[in-house]
Structure 1
Amino acid sequence: MGREDTSETMSLKARIVQALKSETEKGASDVELATLRLIECAVRDRDVCARGRGVGEGCPDADVRAVLETMVAQREVSAREHDSAGRIEDAIREREEIEVIEKFLPVPLSGAKLNAAVQDIVEDLGASKLKDVGRCMSALKDKFPGMVESGTAGKAVRDALTRS
């Protein structure tokens, strides 16, 4: 499903539709199918809104990624609420839905990959002082959309700048 097909040419919307079709044919679990349908519905709703604003091809992948991130955040809150209320089965279902949604989100850069990306950005921009952190972070987020976590990336950029 999601992360297995990392074809760079396939849009996020197309990957979602393809996953829904293949999981329906395979006879996936109820939670997985229901979550995929919810994802498709949310993306289709966002497409309709985009077309209403005059964007003929619908919403871009960045908007789809934002929808998915919102869905994950909502389910995390719900899972915590279910846990605190003693509804463990509901919390488990929320976490299962999170797993399905996260299959479509890019894996955040971390470790050696993050450090290499930061080093490339620092070299490309010719950054050498801590005042360049903002510029480096902007370039990093532009080059790797949806894959940069601000806290860890900011620390990596500051580390790279203090070493140079």
Structure 2
Amino acid sequence: MSLLETLNEDMKTAMKAKDKSTLSVVRMLKSAVMNEKINLGHDLTNDEEVAVLSRELKQRKDSVREFEKGNRDDLVADTKAEIEVVEKYLPAQLSEADVKKIITETVSEVGAQSMADFGKVMSSVMPKLKGQADGKLVNQTVKQLLQ
């Protein structure tokens, strides 16, 4: 079942359950996927779907940080609930240990020695971890390994 079909089914379920918060998030996700489909002019591949979902997740995580800075606890709770809904559609996230292992293997594959090779490592490792690990975690881990 494609992501759009899953979103449609979940939208129906949320409507029947009168779950307004889940319904609004699912509608936003469906809208984002449809907009991406229109922009690209073709049905989305799995990688493209994950990219859209990851972008939506990142926006919500950034919002949580901003709301916390502004002491808006009411909005923090709502946004964290949205994050849980979005994460349901993403592939399972790798643990920090798994991420570090993949990055370590990639560092040795590309022969990276110092921070000068940071870009080379990142361009090689991100396709391997796309949708499975937070970009900030990957960035920090690569920097730690290259120091």
TM-score, length basis structure 1: 0.63
Partner of 1:121: 106
TM-score, length basis structure 2: 0.68
The runs of 5 or more residues in structure 2 that have no matched partner are: none
What per-residue deviation string (whole Å, max 9, x for no partner) do you get for residues 103-129 of structure 1? 234455442112210121022112233
Aligned equivalents of 2:146, 2:62: Cα separation in 1: 36
Partner of 2:35: 45
Aligned equivalents of 1:153, 1:147: Cα separation in 2: 10
Aligned equivalents of 2:62, 2:97: Cα separation in 1: 31
How do residues 13-24 of structure 1 correspond to structure 2 at under 5 angstroms? 14-22=2-10, 24=12
Q: How many residues align?
A: 143
2:43 to 42, 50, 57: 57
**Identity, % of aligned positions:** 20
Q: Which moved more, 1:137-146 or 1:101-110?
A: 101-110
Give the SS at the match of 2:30: helix
How do residues 29-44 of structure 1 correspond to structure 2 at under 5 angstroms? 29-44=19-34
How do residues 75-86 of structure 1 correspond to structure 2 at under 5 angstroms? 75-76=63-64, 79-80=67-68, 83-84=71-72
Shift of 1:48: 1.8
Partner of 1:134: 119
Cα RMSD after superposing both structures? 3.5
